[in-house]
Amino acid sequence: MINRQKIFFVQKINENEFEKESLWCIKRGDNYIIDNIPFIAKRISLGDTIKAEYDLEEGVYYFDDFVSVSGNSTVRLYFFKDVILIEDVRKYLNSLGCEGEIFLARKILAINVPSNIDYRVIKQYLDEGELQGKWQYEESCLAHEY
């Protein structure tokens, strides 16, 4: 049985506003391996190994520090106009070796680009779609060189 734990990440939105996101993680000894693609948390990717600290008052675990990075990259696409595209884009990127998760309420497609994938091909596709006004994208955690 896999020992999974939700770990909370706090993301600063502006000077006085913060947002929390919980990510599923797999416990490995004293550490945790990120097991889903983040929609909000920045500078973290699927497969990264982290430390977490338990908050007694809230009864939850919070991100504390990195142990090691996976080499994967996280990219988020924001669909402001044509939400219908989200599933087709996810399927296309999946065919290129990138796993994706959809947060439909916010019209976000979060993509994991594995370390062994040529990011230049992905970036070209993302740039073309952005230029055509289909989406905007953010390289939330970029481990790839291009």
**67-110: per-residue pLDDT in tens?**
999 999 999 999 988 888 999 999 999 999 999 999 999 999 99
Q: Classify residue 27: in a domain, yes or no.
A: yes
- Taking residues 7-17, report their average pLDDT: 90
Q: Classify residue 13: in a domain, yes or no.
A: yes
Q: At what angle do helices 85-95 and 119-131 cross, to 10 degrees?
A: 160
Q: What is the pTM of this model?
A: 0.91
Q: Residues 14, 59: one domain?
A: yes
The answer, yes or no, to whether residue 120 has pLDDT greater than 70, is yes
Neighbours of 26 (CB within 10 A): 15
Last residue of a domain, one of 49, 68, 87: 68
Q: Residues 55, 92: one domain?
A: no
Position 143 scores a pLDDT of 86
> What percentage of the chain reaches a pLDDT higher than 90?
88
Q: Residues 62, 77: one domain?
A: no
**CATH number of the domain where residue 136 is located:** 3.30.70
Q: Residues 77, 131: one domain?
A: yes
Q: Which domain holds residue 12?
A: 4-68
Mean pLDDT of the chain, nearest integer:
94
Q: Classify residue 22: in a domain, yes or no.
A: yes
The answer, yes or no, to whether residue 40 has pLDDT greater than 80, is yes
Q: Residues 63, 99: one domain?
A: no
Q: Residues 85, 99: one domain?
A: yes
Q: Residues 16, 37: one domain?
A: yes
Last residue of a domain, one of 68, 97, 121: 68
Q: Residues 62, 110: one domain?
A: no
> What percentage of the chain reaches a pLDDT higher than 70?
97
Q: Residues 57, 77: one domain?
A: no
Q: Residues 117, 131: one domain?
A: yes
Position 146 scores a pLDDT of 46
Position 2 scores a pLDDT of 80
Domain count, the chain: 2
Q: Classify residue 105: in a domain, yes or no.
A: yes
* Cα gap 122→120, rounded to integer Å: 5
Q: Residues 78, 123: one domain?
A: yes
